Every structure is written in structure tokens, then in C-alpha cells.
Amino acid sequence: MEKKWVVILLGIAFLLFGLGSWYFLYIQKSDDISVNEDPLADIKIPNADATTKKIYEEKISATKEMYLKMPDIWETWVAIGNLKSLFGDYVGALAAYEQSVAIQPNNIVAQRNIAVLYAENLQDYKQAEAHYRLAIRNELNRAELYMDLIKIQWKKLNNENAAKITLEEGLKRTKNDYDLVYFAIAFYTEIGDKETADSYQKKLETISRPTTPQPSLLVVPNQKQ
């Protein structure tokens, strides 16, 4: 009988330990995601005409409202990153996008925005390449991601071979997306490979152009109204 009670008590102890671990890993983690300091406190409207200033104020107001209502969703932190990027705070924008990825790791929008930020504003092309790869990993059949990555590898990193590999992988994964095949023609023409360019020109003639464009990836850094 005594042994039975020992087993029961041990079972209760393990149950309490499990509940405590769950609380620490999930509840506490969720609390950590909600940043205590207001991430928009340092936002300052730059000098602008009255119309532009009003647009800025509306953007700030909408983003603050989103943060107050839903601070723990990835979309909020993308919005914060976009706002900071709009006003030239690229380090702050990067931190916000990274917070978005921390909340939702398979987050193609934030990964793509990080890549654009590194490429266009911070001029860190290796980081841009790495984050485009992460974005592609989350959506293998999106042609525009391959084209953006190829431009970085080809024009910024001067790695023509890597660009070729990315292009061929993209064509395979997108099943010869019309826009990517069109891009391939321009790419091979510019690097002087007329034979391959001609082969893709013939392939393009067999592909129907899509009547509905692929939805865009929300907002990217530096997009101003």
C-alpha cells in the first residue's frame, strides 16, 4: 500500500513539473515577445509638406494601434519595420523584422524585407543573399524571389555561376514560370550565351502568359506613398 502511494506522489510530481515546464516555455516565451518598451516611441516625422506629413501621421497612428491591440503577431512587427524603414531607421527596421521572424519563423514577408533592407540600404550583399535563400526555402515556387536573388549574386557579388545555379533551380521549381523564363533570356543574352538564350526564347513561345499576376509580398522596405 505504501509503495502505491509513493507511485501516486511521484506521478503528481512529474505532472506538476510538466505543467511548470509548459508555462515557462510557452507562457513566459509569449510574454518575452511582447516588448516592454514602446518600439514606436522614438519615431519622428521628418520635415515634409502638409499632405505628406498627414500621410506619415496616419501611418504612425495605424501602426501604433496595431501594436497596442496585437503586439504578439508577426504582421505587427513587419508593419513596425516598414515604418522605421520609411523614416530611415534601418537598424530599427532590421530589429523589427527579426522580431517578426522570431514570432513566426517560416515568415516569407519578413525574410524578404530583411533581404531587401540588406541589399538596398545596408549594402551587405552576403546577408541579402542568405535571407533571400531563407525566403525561398519558405516558398519554393515564387519566381520573383529567384530573380531578386540572382540579381544580388550576379550584379553585386559577381558570382555568375551561383546566379546560373539559382536560375536553373528556380526554373525547375516554378515549372518554367513565364516571367522567370523571360528573365533567363535576358540573363543569358547579357552574359553572351546566345545559344542558351535562344533555347529559352523557343521555350517561352510554348508557354502561355499568365492572365492573373501572382500576388505581391505585401510591403517591402522604402516603399513610400
pTM for the model: 0.76
Q: What is the mean pLDDT of the chain?
A: 84
For residue 98, tell me if it sits in a domain: yes
- What are the grid coordinates assigned to 148, written together? 531578386
Question: Coil, strand, or helix at residue 39?
Answer: coil
13 and 78 belong to one structural domain: no
Range of the domain at 67: 50-204
Residues 134 and 90 in one domain: yes
Question: What is the sign of the dihedral through the CA atoms of 45, 48, 52 and 54?
Answer: positive
Q: Which of 181, 197, 178, 180 is nearest to 189 (CA)?
A: 197
User: Cell 546566345 appears where?
Assistant: 194
Over pLDDT 70: what percentage of the chain?
77
Same domain, 93 and 140: yes
Looking at this protein, which amino acid is placed at residue 71? P
- The answer on 69 and 97 residing in a single domain is yes
- Closest-CA residue to 167 (of 157, 177, 158): 177
Does residue 142 register a pLDDT over 80? yes
Q: Are both 20 and 121 inside the same structural domain?
A: no
Q: What is the pLDDT of residue 211?
A: 66
- Quick one: average pLDDT of 28-49? 67
Pair 9, 56 in one domain: no
CB neighbourhood size of 129 (10 A)? 22
pLDDT recorded at residue 2: 54
* Same domain (yes/no): 102, 7: no
Question: pLDDT at residue 14 above 70?
Answer: no
User: What CATH number has the domain bearing residue 104?
Assistant: 1.25.40.10
Please write the tens of the pLDDT for every residue from 78-124: 999 999 999 999 999 999 999 999 999 999 999 999 999 999 999 99
In a domain, 194, yes or no: yes
pLDDT band for position 26 (cuts 50, 70, 90): very low
Residue-wise pLDDT tens digits, 144-194: 999 999 999 999 999 999 999 999 999 999 999 999 999 999 999 999 999
Structure-model confidence comparison of residues 120 and 13, the more confident one: 120
Residue 126 domain-assigned?
Answer: yes
For residue 72, tell me if it sits in a domain.
Answer: yes
Give the span between the Cα atoms of 197 and 127, in whole angstroms: 30
Determine the Cα–Cα distance for residues 28 and 98; give it in Å rounded to an integer. Answer: 19
Asked if residue 183 and residue 146 are part of one domain, the reply reads yes
**Count of the separate structural domains present in the chain:** 2
**Ramachandran area for residue 192 (φ above 0: left; ψ -120 to 50: alpha; else beta):** left
Q: When comparing pLDDT for 207 and 221, which is higher?
A: 207
| Residues 11 and 95 both lie in one domain | no
